[in-house]
Amino acid sequence: GIASLGPKVEGAIVGKALYDGKLDLAAAIAAAVG
């Protein structure tokens, strides 16, 4: 998963996706833990 890239990179990707409305919170959490 993207977590392997490191927390800062993961946070940037997830944060941008959430901001852009491309990812909902459940998907973001699933991506983070997956």
Mean pLDDT, the chain, rounded, equals 78
Q: Is the dihedral of CA 10, 14, 17, 22 positive or negative?
A: positive
- The structure's pTM equals 0.45
pLDDT category at 17 given cuts 50, 70, 90 is: confident
Helix 25-33 × helix 7-20 angle, to 10°: 160
Whether the Cβ atoms of residue 2 and residue 13 lie closer than 8 Å to each other: yes
For 3-8, what is the mean pLDDT? Answer: 77
For 2-28, what is the mean pLDDT? Answer: 78
Amino acid at 34: G
